[in-house]
Amino acid sequence: MQNLSQTKEIQIAIFGLGFVGLTTAVGFASKGFKTIGYEIDTKKAKSLTCAKIPFFEEGLESSLKSVLGKNLFITNNLKEALKGSDVIFYCIGTPMSKNGSADLSYLCDAISQTLSHLHLCAPTPTLLIKSTIPPASSKEIIIPLIESFNLKVNNGTESHLFLANNPEFLREGFALDDFLHPDRILIGIENLPDTQILESIYKPFCAPIIFSNLNTAEFIKYLSNTTLSMCISYANEMSLIAQYIGDIDIIQAFNTLHKDKRFSGNPAKISQYIYPGLGFGGYCLPKDTLALYKKSSDKGFSPQILKSILDTNEKILEFYIQKITHENPKHSTIGILGLSFKPKSDDVRDSKSAMLIQRLLENGFSNIYAYDPIATHTFAQAYNLPIKYAQNLKEITQTCDILAIATGWQEFIPLLHNNHKKIYNLRWLQSLDKNTTLDKEPKN
């Protein structure tokens, strides 16, 4: 297609020049990297060499023109694309199959083609999957595929190549701007002796680089997308409830909802509510969610998302009860940390801690201690459970074999460093030694 003789310190190849692939290619080329865009469709590749894009994306065509033939080269020749490439991105579609699962056949074909010509690449190249693939796909499908070529992958210094997952978080209509100005860069990689090449290609984008294992990176992409789809469907379900009840101004209702300071991060971020834990309790959320579900059902519409919210709130508690009871003998001394329904409150109404303790007692665990920074006395009076109460954190940690963090008080965070106790971090508090950022306590 074009003369690929120009050299650059790091050479990047992009497989698949659709919405994601072309944006990625133009983005890296605009930062000065020699970038080879490989498109198997001859007609499409020829069109792209003339800077003609078969879809609309704001600013992409003009940016393509500015880098084409300078840092970006388009080809439909596999060998040209691979020759000397250090990093190979796969932006191949993973369409939905007839049974609803992701079809990875096109992606696997592209990877197989690469492996058959791996000798053309730079030594020990890194293959980065930008295609959206279900969690565990790299470990269950792609790594076995690579190993079937008698190649060592993600095996430290003995590796023939490395496989990484690098999800895209691009919005159609804003793709190039999102790529050039990312809020975070996620790379799933394992057993890579040196991340320098990955850090080097993303350094010009001035965004935090988050390294995780492969499964986590793949999961985060789906977590991101399904959070958005959940919000959209939730809003639609609420609009249906409003219409079944009648005489509700839906536009005004949602506009007023959006004025909640939590949507703008003040005083608490809405992201704190989108965080796993033991479920929601307290006076308002359980009764109000159930009441709206009942009202809507009485009006003829059964809201499935609200039903699922209520069901999941019970299932998550039951999951952890089963986990604790199955993993520990009944004579264990268990300490429950946190008794209020959320931090910085002494409200123990519909406390998940109370439900947890009651179920442990039912399962034959009688040596239970409990502690809360401010709600211990209130809890003891409200529930009258046959357990003991510690006066402070030191007492309960010294007394108990097992600790279960049931409310997300920040003073419990140092316990995550205690290697002498078995700790169930039921609120997923984050240890500050793992490059995590704590804004405030999660509210769930």
The answer on whether 244 is annotated among ligand-binding residues is: no
Identical fold, 12-212 and 222-425: yes
**Paired tokens of 30:** 């605009």
Q: Is 163 helix (H, G, I), strand (E, B) or coil?
A: strand
Q: What is the DSSP letter of 262?
A: G
CATH number of the 222-425 domain: 3.40.50.720
**Paired tokens of 344:** 């910085």
The answer on whether 342 is annotated among ligand-binding residues is: yes
The answer on whether 273 is annotated among ligand-binding residues is: yes
What is the number of other CB atoms lying within 10 angstroms of the CB of residue 165? 31
What are the C-alpha distances in Å from 253 to residues 52, 233, 246, 250, 436?
44, 16, 13, 5, 36
Domain-wise residue ranges, the chain: 12-212, 222-425
Mean pLDDT in each 10-residue stretch from start to end of the chain (444 residues)? 52 97 98 97 95 94 96 97 98 93 97 97 96 97 98 93 97 96 96 89 96 97 95 96 96 93 78 89 93 96 96 96 97 98 94 97 98 97 97 96 96 89 93 43 40
In contact, 301 and 366? CB cutoff 8 Å: no
What is the number of other CB atoms lying within 10 angstroms of the CB of residue 400? 24
The answer on whether 44 is annotated among ligand-binding residues is: yes
State how far Cα 87 lies from the chain centre. 24
Active site residues: 284
The answer on whether 172 is annotated among ligand-binding residues is: yes
CA distance 385 to 357: 8
Q: Is 15 helix (H, G, I), strand (E, B) or coil?
A: strand
What are the C-alpha distances in Å from 184 to residues 161, 269, 415?
25, 18, 29
Q: Is 320 helix (H, G, I), strand (E, B) or coil?
A: helix
What is the number of other CB atoms lying within 10 angstroms of the CB of residue 299? 13
Looking at residue 240, its pLDDT comes to 97
Looking at residue 274, its pLDDT comes to 87
- Whether the link from the prior residue into 204 is cis, omega within 30° of 0, is no
In contact, 402 and 371? CB cutoff 8 Å: no
CA distance 353 to 387: 12
Looking at residue 430, its pLDDT comes to 84
Q: What is the pTM of this model?
A: 0.88
In contact, 172 and 225? CB cutoff 8 Å: no
Q: Is 128 helix (H, G, I), strand (E, B) or coil?
A: strand
Q: For domain 12-212, which CATH number applies: 3.90.226.10, 3.30.70.3040, 1.10.1330.10, 3.40.50.720? A: 3.40.50.720
